[in-house]
Amino acid sequence: MKDTPGKPAPVTGATLEEKVKNARAQLDAHVREVVRWHFSPETGTPFWLEKAKTFNFNPLTDVNGWDDVKKFPIFEDEWLRGGPVRKWVPKGMADRAVYVFETGGTTGLPKSRIVIDDFKIDYEMMSDTLPDQYFPKGSNWLMLGPSGPRRLRLAIEHLAQYRGGICFAIDLDPRYVVKCLRERKVAEAQAYKDHCIAQALTVLAGGHDIKCMFTTPKLLAALDEALRNGKLEDTYRSIGKPVPPGGLRSIKSTGITGIFSGGTEFTPDFTREAVEEMLDNGEVYMTPTYGNTLMGLACSKPVGPHDGYKISYYAPQPRAVIEVVNPDNFDEVVPYGGTGRVLLSTFTKEFFVPRFPERDEGEREKPFEKYPWDGVSGVRPFAKLAGGTVVGVY
């Protein structure tokens, strides 16, 4: 499949220092372009054109690079609740087909984000980081994750198609799971998880030659548990199919070779457990990612025992930027290794989000060759907010 237009050029440079410098220059130029797009009367986004009337600066002339993004007020995700959703569609893209993706929504209005091509670009960039050995081109995928108005549902399907495969999906409503857990209906949540896993087993038993999978840590563990308990073998028997010699009691035995996974539940301990105990000591490859509907997705540095299974994420700069900041002063970036709240900015022609405080915290990571800009490790729910967060299935 052809690339979707809009992928940024790779950062060049002979040394890390040079790459860091070039990445910064690329970011500055990108920020200028995107801000002009969203605030120009011809192409701009109705929401931002209206908001600009309250600014004490002119985004068209006063924003010349990344440093000037601080001039924007902190983005409030409440702005995303309720309509009309068209206020987020840039005039320059008014004739394009628009998707709306939602996040949250267990109680009250969900937050909505419009998307045209961003999810395709993000996942094509992510695809370039996947090793073909474990994610063979042309192989089919299983999307064992949320369905409904979620970006992931379409994004994973696009990823599979971009790599020449076909994606199978299950029905999974994460809002229902969160509702069960909030109401302490543990057995009901478990029954729903079992229902989701049963759907996945049916797909795996269907002979579709699935080699790649997206899933969340909880669902990966649940699938592993079901396989170990012989549930896929039971599914084979129930459809009159012989169980292959050697059985079907591990993820490796199903033929899956690569897993793309995401969620803040990705702790070093879970990753180690997955690699050592679920994925045959790494024979099945797994790559964690950190993402959300607002940002896109951040790829991780290779994870393994060499680094204590530490997971460091890097945003798809210049389209998005992650900063780790002092939770009491978002203008202050913490020192490398320091702990702070994740502050996210998104700069695409479809969507402009300056300085959005995520519900997560982590440690600031240094740039490295592959991603010559700041990253974040140890991502977890922001301690001051964690009490109110119910983690469902992802």
Q: How big is the site for other proteins, counted in residues (CB under 8 A)?
A: 21
Q: Could you say whether residue 179 binds other proteins (CB under 8 A)?
A: no
- Nearest approach, Cβ of residue 150 and other proteins (Å): 23
81: which DSSP letter?
Answer: B
Closer of 203 and 219 to other proteins (Cβ): 219
**Which stretch, 8-16, 55-63, 269-277, 344-352, contacts other proteins (CB under 8 A)?**
269-277
Closer of 103 and 267 to other proteins (Cβ): 267
36: which DSSP letter?
Answer: H
Q: Is 17 exposed, middle or buried (0-12, 13-18, 19+ CB in 10 A)?
A: exposed
Among 23, 130, 210, 278, the residue binding other proteins under the rule CB under 8 A is 278
- Nearest approach, Cβ of residue 228 and other proteins (Å): 5
Whose tokens are 């035995």? That residue is: 253
* Residue window 209-238: x/- pattern of binding to other proteins, with contact defined by CB under 8 A: ------------xx-xx--xx---------
- Nearest approach, Cβ of residue 308 and other proteins (Å): 6
Residues 6+ apart with CB under 8 A from 89: 45, 46, 98, 114
Q: How many CB atoms lie within 10 A of CB 349?
A: 19
**Which stretch, 178-186, 282-290, 332-340, 359-367, contacts other proteins (CB under 8 A)?**
178-186
Among 55, 272, 334, 385, the residue binding other proteins under the rule CB under 8 A is 272
Q: Which of positions 302-341 make contact with other proteins (CB under 8 A)?
A: 308-309
- Pick from 62, 29, 43, 257: nearest CA to 165: 257
- Nearest approach, Cβ of residue 326 and other proteins (Å): 24
Q: Is the dihedral of CA 324, 325, 331, 335 positive or negative?
A: negative
Among 61, 187, 242, 388, the residue binding other proteins under the rule CB under 8 A is 187
Q: Could you say whether residue 184 binds other proteins (CB under 8 A)?
A: yes
Which residue blocks in the chain are alpha helix, DSSP H?
A: 16-39, 46-51, 59-62, 118-127, 151-162, 174-182, 186-205, 217-228, 231-238, 268-273, 383-386
- Nearest approach, Cβ of residue 184 and other proteins (Å): 6
- Nearest approach, Cβ of residue 141 and other proteins (Å): 23
Q: What's phi and psi for 391, nearest 5 deg?
A: -90, 120
SS percent in the chain: helix, strand, coil, step 5 = 35, 20, 40
Q: Which residues bind other proteins (CB under 8 A)?
A: 184-187, 190, 221-222, 224-225, 228-229, 267-270, 272-273, 277-278, 308-309
